[in-house]
Structure 1
Amino acid sequence: MATKKASTKLKKTIVRQPKEPIKEKDKKINNEIRRLTGIFKDIEKNKRLTSKGLIEEAAYMKATLVELKASIDENGPIDEMQQGEYSILREHPALKAYNSMVQRYTTVIKQLSDLLPKELPKEVSDGFDEFVGGRSD
C-alpha cells in the first residue's frame, strides 16, 4: 500500500510541457529533415535506410540545440545552486546538455558525410597540355 501512495505522489509532481512548443519543435525538426535530405540526396540506395535514421536524429538534435542555445542566452552559462545555507556557482545544466549534444550532432553529421559517394579529385591543369596543343610547329 505504501508504494501506491508514493507512486501516486510522484505522478502528481511530474511537470508536463505545454503541447504548443512541441508542435513548433516538430516543425523545426521536419524542416531540418527536408534540408538534410536535400544535402545528402546522393547517398547510395543501399545506405539510405541508415542515412534516414541518422538524418532524423540529426534533425532532432539540431532543433534541441537551438532550444538549449536560447536557454543559455537567456539564463547565462553559470547557474547558482543553493546548498543548504550557502550557494555555489556551477555550469548551467542547459550548457552542459548543449556541449554534450553538439559533440554528438557533429559525429552524426560526419557519419552522414561519410555515407556520401567519394568524389574523385579533379585534375588541375598545369597548362602544359594547352601549351603543347596550341603550338603550330
Structure 2
Amino acid sequence: MADLKIRNEKVAAEEKRLNELFFDLADDKKKVVSGLVTQAARLKILLDEMWIDISEKGDYELFSQSENQIPYERERPVAKQYNARDQSYQRIVKQLTDYLPEEKREAATTAALDGSDLI
C-alpha cells in the first residue's frame, strides 16, 4: 500500500507539472484535456519505474519452457510493456500539444516529454 501511496504522490506531482505547461488553455479546452493530463501523468510515472527496472535488469533474459530445454534469450515482458506504454505516452503528449497555439507547441512538447518546465 505504501508503494501505491508514493506512486499516487508522484502522479499528482506530474499532473501538476503538466497542468502548468497547459495553464493558458481556454477553460473549455482544459475540461477536454484533463483526462489526457491524468493519463499522461500515470504513464510517465509507470515509464520511469519501468526504466529503472530495465536499466538494472536489462531488456532480455534467459528463458526456458522446462528444465530439460536449453535456455534462450527473450525480450523481458517489462521491455515490451515499456515500448507499448511509451508509444501511448507519445500519442497523448501529441494530442495535448495539438490544443496549444502553434507557437507554443514545440516548447511544450519538449517540456512534456523530457520532464522539464517551460522557461
TM-score, normalising length: structure 2 = 0.80
Normalized per residue, the structure richer in helix is 2
**Counterpart residue type for residue 75 of structure 2:** E
2: CA distance between counterparts of 1:119 and 1:71? 37
> RMSD of the alignment, in Å?
1.4
Could you say which residue in structure 2 is the equivalent of 1:107?
Answer: 91
Runs (5+) with no aligned partner, structure 1: 1-18, 121-137
Runs (5+) with no aligned partner, structure 2: 105-119
Count of residues paired in the alignment: 102
**Counterpart residue type for residue 43 of structure 1:** L
Q: For residue 83 of structure 1, give the secondary structure of its aligned residue in structure 2.
A: coil
Distance 1:74 1:119, change over 3 A: closer
1: CA distance between counterparts of 2:3 and 2:80? 22
CA-to-partner distance for each residue in 1:32-91, whole Å, 9 max, x for gaps?
Answer: 000000001111221111210000000000000011101111211101222122222111
TM-score, normalising length: structure 1 = 0.70
1: CA distance between counterparts of 2:27 and 2:35? 14
2: CA distance between counterparts of 1:73 and 1:83? 25
Could you say which residue in structure 1 is the equivalent of 2:109?
Answer: none
User: Alignment identity in percent?
Assistant: 33
Displacement of 1:111: 0.4
Q: Structure 1: which 4+ aligned runs deviate by more than 2 Å?
A: 117-120
**Contact residue 44 and residue 117 of structure 1 kept, 8 A:** no
**Counterpart residue type for residue 21 of structure 2:** I
